[in-house]
Amino acid sequence: MSANEISNGKKSARREQRFPVDLDATLHDGSAELPVRLRDLSRGGALGTCPFPPPPLSCVTLVRGALAIEARVAWAGRGRFGLEFASPIRATELLIQLSLNRAQPA
């Protein structure tokens, strides 16, 4: 664990196990909605794709079914972006999203 993680008292989102997914979702930035594809998901964040990602450091709400979570765009470029959730999603909600991913036809 790094000194930063110890001082924050929590693990970095990068340390969370990430699961590959292929899910439709929407980002809301308060004034617009942006359709996106989630490519991986963890309790602490997500990797998404879309033609024109939101700028880094912007605050957004990720909406996917009943899941609506506040997030910050950690990085963005070339049609991809990383989200850092304001607070980790519950493990049960993560399992629901993963099971929905498996239920979608290929």
Q: Is residue 93 part of a domain?
A: yes
Let me know if residue 85 belongs to a domain.
yes
Long-range own/partner contacts, residues 52-56 (CB < 8 A, 24 or more apart): 53/77, 53/79, 53/80, 53/81, 54/27, 54/29, 54/81
Q: Domain containing 26: what range?
A: 12-103
Mean pLDDT value across residues 9-26 = 78
Please check the confidence at residue 94 and state whether its pLDDT lies above 70: yes
- Tell me if 32 is assigned to some domain: yes
Q: Considering its fold, how many domains does the chain have in total?
A: 1
> Cα dist. 6→12, 21, 24, 44, 71 in Å?
10, 30, 35, 17, 22
pLDDT over threshold 70, residue 11: no
The reply to whether 39 falls in a domain is yes
The answer to whether residue 2 sits within a structural domain is no
The reported pLDDT for the residue numbered 57 is 97
Give me the phi and psi of 100, to 5 degrees please.
-65, -35
Which residues have a Cβ under 8 Å from the Cβ of 10 and sit 6 or more positions away? none
CATH number at residue 25: 2.40.10.220
For the segment 18-37, the average pLDDT, to the nearest whole number, is 95
pLDDT of residue 87: 97
* Residue 54 scores a pLDDT above 90: yes
Is residue 6 in some structural domain? Answer: no
pLDDT at 39 over 80: yes
- Of 11-15, 24-28, 43-47, 85-89, give the lowest mean pLDDT range: 11-15
Buried b (16+ CB within 10 A) or exposed e, 62-78: bebeebebebebbebee
Answer whether residue 54 is part of any domain.
Answer: yes
Is this model's pTM higher than 0.85 or not? Answer: no
